[in-house]
Amino acid sequence: MYVELWCEEQFNKLDLGPPDFSQQESLAPHIGLLVEAFTHINEPDSIYGITLANEVASQIIRYEHEGNWSSALEYYDLLVRSTPKENLANFAGTVLTGPSVSSKAEENLLNWKMHKGLMRSLQKTGCSHVLDIYSQGLTNQKACLQQDSEFVDIQYEAAWRAGNWDFSFFVPYSSQPSSRSRDYCLFNENLHSCLRALQNGDSEQFQGKLSHSKMDLVLALSNASKESTKYIHSTVLKLQMLDHLSMAWELRWKFCPDQAPKSNVGTEEFNLVPAVPKRNQLELLSKEWNFILCQTERNLDLFEPFLAFRRGLLKILGSEEHLIEHLFQSASALRKGLRFSLAAASLYELKELCCHRDQQTVPSTYFLSKLEEAKLLRAQGQHDMAIGLGKYILKNHTDERNKSDVYRLVGKWLAETRSSNSRTIIEDYLNHSVALDKKYMSRQCRTHFHLAHYTYNLFKSYEERLSSNEWQAALRLRKYKTKELDTLLKRLKNSSKAEKSDYGAKIQELQKQLALDREEAQKIQDDRDEFLSLALEGYQRSLVVGGKYDLQVVFRLVSLWFNLFSRKQVVDSMIKTTKEVQSY
């Protein structure tokens, strides 16, 4: 509100001012304030309205906002390369979103925050080894970095993500709470300590760090603005991580099958030998996880740290079966969230884990990992490779239950890339998927819908072709050829012997052309009617066997019925549909 008032006074209207395309690489002060505000109150669309210039700062803000961390990394690297070494320790002021810099803006702009931005980009792209080496280099170069709490927190986060429990960072100010930044309660340092204590069975350290971290988070939550929803959600998720830690402690160090319900952490004796929990003992932890997954999976920036945390937790608990399931979930969620490098890392870890498993469990796991890999290739734009891998899976695996998914996906990808003709896609892939899914009622709805959706689009394309100007011109040409043939036939009767030979050749050529034209037209109309019939049948079956696509299918069927009410096949199909589909 205050920025708006300032803009009205400065520009005599409610306007941010003209975009700045000068050599100045920093954001204007009022733009910087708005960027900082909008990123904290979870107002994503406004970012595009205020970063209109092409300076590097605006580019980085947009890349980070869109989750394009690879491009952000490139720009941060550009800025860090351009930063004079003497500015590395210049922590004062802001870089991307703050007051204007001194007259030597180009020299002073690229300071320490750029290094932290580069570190954050490395972490987001999954380059953990490069991040570790880079952090060590910065620490050796500038000892004063040990006094920056955000730098320490980034390193501890990298350590617990990598499962590096031997990591420790000497912080000379640790006994002086006043020197810590109010923005960072060093959550990742406490989380690293808790996970290490869970690994080693250090009850005293576990309880102390857990309690301290909870108090810090609750205090931060109580002081947070209610408009800062992004920050509040992140803090709540951190509290849920700590809750999972408490449950994991009970499973690893406190579980006794013949004992009464357990008391609080650290109040009773525990076995020195850690226990590996069984599947039924992890039910409560899995239930809590599934609840969080449903609540947060659409917000990957919020959800991704929990994915990494749960992976580390399951590794400590030694539950390989749950870890395999989690890696599948992680790869799928990260792929859908366009974090391809992290998804590939999950799949790679999954493959390595399968190599050490019992040979009897490997085939199905390997099959599913290959299918997820094909989906990832397709999401990255490598369509031909994804289709090739899908065909390889169909050829080399005999798991009928999951094969229907592969047939459906390969058919869908072939249709999207137009890599094969429609007959091959329907007969060799989509129909196979429908046939295999007859054994598994729960998946029939999806396969019928995808077949119907594809054939409906084919029907639509044929309808558009039959009503196009080119088709109308072809009809007029055929009509003209028919008239010409009739004229030649009449002339043939009254012609001389020499003329009959010429007329005969022309008539034969015209008859051949007209026969081909009629054959093509009939085939197109027959194909159109067949695709319409398949679409109507597929939509009807998807309504009968399931309810996942009800809203889309009902309106699509009604639309087809009203637009094509004069066609007998549509009317007959709708009569059948109304008899078989539930009235609601």
What pLDDT digit, counting tens, does each position of 531-546 carry? 999 999 999 999 988 8
- Pick from 140, 139, 240, 252: nearest CA to 191: 240
Which is more confidently placed, 566 or 102? 566
Number of structural domains the chain divides into:
1
**Mean pLDDT of all residues in 535-558:** 89
**Mean pLDDT of all residues in 502-510:** 82
Helix (H) or strand (E) holding 123: helix 112-124
Phi (first) and psi of residue 441, to 5 degrees: -60, -35
| Whole-number pLDDT of residue 570 | 92
Cα dihedral across residues 221, 222, 223, 228: positive or negative: positive
User: Domain for residue 295, yes or no?
Assistant: no
Q: Are 539 and 556 in contact (CB under 8 A)?
A: yes
User: Domain for residue 116, yes or no?
Assistant: no
User: Domain for residue 434, yes or no?
Assistant: no
419, amino acid identity: S
Query: Is this model's pTM higher than 0.85 or not?
Result: no
Instruction: Reply yes or no on whether the pLDDT at 386 is more than 90.
Output: yes
Q: Are 81 and 19 in contact (CB under 8 A)?
A: no
User: Domain for residue 503, yes or no?
Assistant: yes
Instruction: Reply yes or no on whether the pLDDT at 498 is more than 80.
Output: no
d(CA 454, CA 460): 10
User: Domain for residue 271, yes or no?
Assistant: no
**Mean pLDDT of all residues in 515-535:** 90
State the pLDDT confidence band at 547, using cuts at 50, 70 and 90.
Answer: confident
- Number of other residues whose CB lies within 10 A of the CB of residue 309: 21
Residues 139-180 have pLDDT tens digits of: 777 666 666 788 888 888 989 998 888 887 654 444 444 344
Helix, strand or coil, per DSSP, at residue 214: helix
Q: Where are the beta strands (DSSP E) in 223-350?
A: none
Mean pLDDT of the chain: 81
| Whole-number pLDDT of residue 572 | 92
Give the 3-state DSSP-derived string for 152-186, with helices as H, strands as E and coil as C: HHHHHHHHHHHCCCCCCCCCCCCCCHHHCCCCCCC
d(CA 26, CA 332): 38
| Whole-number pLDDT of residue 170 | 54
Q: Where are the beta strands (DSSP E) in 186-295?
A: none
d(CA 432, CA 450): 12
**Candidate from 296-300, 462-466, 559-563 with smallest mean pLDDT:** 296-300
d(CA 549, CA 565): 23
**Which structural domain, as residue segments, surrounds residue 476?**
464-580
d(CA 153, CA 191): 10
d(CA 387, CA 397): 15
**Mean pLDDT of all residues in 256-278:** 56
**Mean pLDDT of all residues in 407-422:** 89
| Whole-number pLDDT of residue 172 | 45
Q: Are 73 and 115 in contact (CB under 8 A)?
A: no
State the pLDDT confidence band at 97, using cuts at 50, 70 and 90.
Answer: very low
d(CA 80, CA 169): 24
Which is more confidently placed, 524 or 436? 524
**Mean pLDDT of all residues in 225-254:** 85
User: Domain for residue 3, yes or no?
Assistant: no
- Pick from 380, 390, 314, 400: nearest CA to 350: 314
Residue 80 tokens read as: 């860090």
User: Domain for residue 399, yes or no?
Assistant: no
- Pick from 190, 44, 69, 59: nearest CA to 120: 69
* DSSP code at position 426: I
Residue 438 tokens read as: 């007859």
- Number of other residues whose CB lies within 10 A of the CB of residue 490: 11
Most confident segment among 61-75, 172-186, 268-282, 526-540: 526-540
d(CA 544, CA 25): 61
Residue 348 tokens read as: 């790679």
- Number of other residues whose CB lies within 10 A of the CB of residue 391: 15
Instruction: Reply yes or no on whether the pLDDT at 35 is more than 70.
Output: yes
Contacts of 494 (CB under 8 A, 6+ apart): none
| Whole-number pLDDT of residue 169 | 67
**Mean pLDDT of all residues in 223-251:** 86
| Whole-number pLDDT of residue 367 | 80
Most confident segment among 154-168, 427-441, 494-508: 154-168
d(CA 401, CA 444): 12
User: Domain for residue 544, yes or no?
Assistant: yes
d(CA 407, CA 429): 5
d(CA 468, CA 454): 21
Instruction: Reply yes or no on whether the pLDDT at 584 is more than 70.
Output: yes
**Candidate from 24-28, 50-54, 181-185, 324-328 with smallest mean pLDDT:** 181-185
